[in-house]
Structure 1
Amino acid sequence: MKRIIAIVLPVLVLVVLVGGGFVLTSIFKPPVERADEQPRGLSVFAEAAERTALDLKVNVQGEVRPKRQIVVAPQISGRVSYVSPDFVDGGFIRQGQVLVRLEAADYELGVTRARSGVASAEQALARERAEAELAQQDIEDLGIEDASPLARREPQLAEAEANLNSAKAQLADVQLALNRTAITAPFSGRVRERSADLGQFVSPGQALGTIFATDVVEVSLPLSDEELGRTGLPLAFAETEEQPGPQVVFSTNVAGERREWIGRVKRTSAALNPQTRLINVIAELEDPYGAGADDGVPMAPGLFVDAQIDGRRIEDVVRIPRSALRGVDRVFIGDGPNGKLEIRTVDVIYSTDEGAYVSSGVEDGEYAIVSPIQAAFDGMSIQVVERMPDGSLEPRTPRKTATDEETEDENAAQVAGETEGASQ
């Protein structure tokens, strides 16, 4: 018995000591402190939506071409005796300037012969008029009242007059041919190419070169039906003083630098292209080598240019960042004060690299989220951080403390209790 007591008594003492220590530790331990800040939601970047007016733009491309371009060709045949030093590829020419001259000796001889023929016809007409007067005098002296026209020499007089007119026509013809030995420029411009030189024999209609006017150049810009609607132009448009065409900004790289020129839409083409189903809008730039040039750099024919056409103006739209669009028509909106995410469907009117413009679904001042979010859902907890225009970041979701959580729980419980009491 004593042996059992000796074994059990130490065990009981140990149990009492351990239990007493646990009780004392539980009584005197410090209270558990709750963290003031609760776990935060996913941090996202957002930008504020802005209500504004939208000036639509249409961006297309086209090739510059001269409005007037002709092939220089002679109207007569002959050997080239003179070529203007300006009549070379790239040369500047003036209106009325002689570009090519043909040998004129043959045509000068023709003029001399024609003048001789005119003199002979004039002499024959004068003689015939004198004889007609004598015949008329003889008829009167003889008292003949019913003399025939032949007796009055009327047919002979008419023939002499006709011969004179024919001789004068021949003179005018050879004189015209002589004048055509000098081939002049019908307008001021530049030479695109030359295909004739001294000593070459040319025939009527043979190409001697190509020149174009430098007063106006034009660009044909193909537009789809949707793009034509954005410009606000009718299908059959021609610029007038009452209805001027929209402005067009042409741009391209020239000698490694970006150049711009300002033109206007003048008209639309007569019909749609049957292959592409596009309609061409014709834009023009006046004086491309002078006042219309960009710091002395002309918009020369042959350049391939980008063209931005001013379109319609739409009032009262909301601009959001282009990166805020999710797919075609969805946007994530951040409720900054409450730290919640909303998924909305918007009506996108137009979008560029500068932003997307919507007519509904987003209000002015709301935060459009630009950060990528996986598995997003309505009501998702987030922390909204606004990206300012200067690049700085501003938090828009306040941090919630334990006291805020308890207050929200109490308010929720109170509302639930009132609802339950009202239902009873």
Structure 2
Amino acid sequence: MRMKSQYVFVIAMVAVVGLIFVIRAIFGGEPSKAEAKTTPVGPPSVQVRQTAETIRPIEIVMRGRTESARTVVVRSETAGVVAATPAAEGAYVRRGQVLCRLAVDARQAALDQARANYRSRQLQRQAAAQLAEKGYRSQTQVLESQAALDSAQAQVRAAEIALNQVNITAPFNGVFDRREAEVGTYLGPGQACGTMIELNPLVVYGDVPETEAARLRVGAPASAKLLSGQLLNGRVRYVAHDADPQTRTYRVEVAVDNPRMDVRSGLSAEVRVNVGQGPAHLVPITALVLDAAGRQGVRHVLPDGRVAFTAVNVQEETPQGVWVTGLPGVTRVITVGQSSVAEGQKVRVAVAR
């Protein structure tokens, strides 16, 4: 049976198309326009900004918190019932001011008795000396009367101290932050009247990593900026020599002036410690990247047109950019395309506008 002519035509067309695909597969063909556009031509292009080396103060910056220079729990030295609490809780007090006063009880009577005994011993000593001059007393008897007089004098001093101990006083100028005893409370020796804190000077403490601790020195100038914007100036008073076992950081304490004692303990602050002068570069904050090891730094272009990465330490952020240390001399910092190139890669350089 003969095939219809239209079937023959369709079969012929299919054979021709198949033959074309076979020939293209064997001998290849020209790439399409889309393929031609994705084919890279030459090294990638980046924009750079040339930044010069500038000598400026180098600071170590850390997060910190204010705390009192001293915190002391003021305790009773003797036993007794609290008769008065002259100092208001939270008030500023001077050294020697009474915080709690115990009942005197028999302490005044004991002092009066000791003083009377002392006067009696004085008279006995005078009589013994006069009789010894006339030959009616030996030198040994005179010395015995002198010893009795000295003992009586010591008893007077002990009674005076016992009476004075009813006044529990402030050990330094500061704030009577918390009262532990009220009128009528019985205090034994060593029990607390209240807590005193010293706010001038004020201490601002922070923690620095082991890479920075060796650069800090006691006496170095420092400043602390509070969240309110208030700036406090002072100097480093302490740098720990033993690291925190959990964080592996070292405690740093800065003593700052707080004459009005308006800055409280426990406020957050940004602490800056001046460690001298050194070279620094001002770079755009967008130029900062991380390398494969997680180090912060910038990518820049070497004189031969290849990309290099240098780890940096950020010193200060400003509206114009960030000041960093660690870059060598005049550096062409990549500002556009820094995330799409790798170290050692050849690039084409265009100056950033």
TM-score (norm 1): 0.61
CA contact (8 A) 1:50 1:320 kept: no
Aligned to 1:307: 271
Equivalent runs, 1:5-404 vs 2, <5 Å: 46-84=48-86, 86-88=87-89, 90-135=90-135, 152-229=137-214, 232-233=215-216, 237-239=217-219, 245-247=220-222, 249-253=223-227, 257-287=228-258, 289=260, 298-315=262-279, 318-325=281-288, 327-328=290-291, 331=299, 333=301, 342-351=305-314, 354=322, 356-360=324-328, 363=330, 366=332, 368-371=334-337, 374=340, 384=350, 386-387=352-353
CA contact (8 A) 2:299 2:310 kept: no
What amino acid is the match of 1:359? L
SS in 2 for 1:116: helix
Give the length in aligned residue pairs. Answer: 302
Instruction: State the shift of 1:111 in Å.
Output: 1.1
SS in 1 for 2:150: helix
Gap regions ≥5 residues in structure 1? 1-38, 137-151, 240-244, 291-297, 336-340, 388-424
CA contact (8 A) 1:222 1:279 kept: yes
Aligned to 1:294: none
Instruction: State the shift of 1:65 in Å.
Output: 1.9
Aligned to 1:25: none
Aligned to 1:408: none
Larger Rg: 1
In 2, distance between residues paired with 1:51 and 1:65?
38
Q: C-alpha deviations, 1:118-164, integer Å up to 9, x for none? A: 1222233233334433435xxxxxxxxxxxxxxx5222222211111
Instruction: State the shift of 1:194 in Å.
Output: 0.6
Q: C-alpha deviations, 1:350-386, integer Å up to 9, x for none? A: 33651544433x735x46332466468966567x463
Amino-acid identity (%): 24
In 2, distance between residues paired with 1:57 and 1:273?
22
SS in 2 for 1:289: coil
CA contact (8 A) 2:299 2:338 kept: no
What amino acid is the match of 1:118? Y
Instruction: State the shift of 1:327 in Å.
Output: 4.3
In 2, distance between residues paired with 1:373 and 1:170?
86
Q: What is the root-mean-square deviation of aligned Cα atoms in Å?
A: 3.4
Instruction: State the shift of 1:83 in Å.
Output: 0.9
Gap regions ≥5 residues in structure 2? 1-40, 292-296
What amino acid is the match of 2:78? I
In 2, distance between residues paired with 1:205 and 1:48?
69
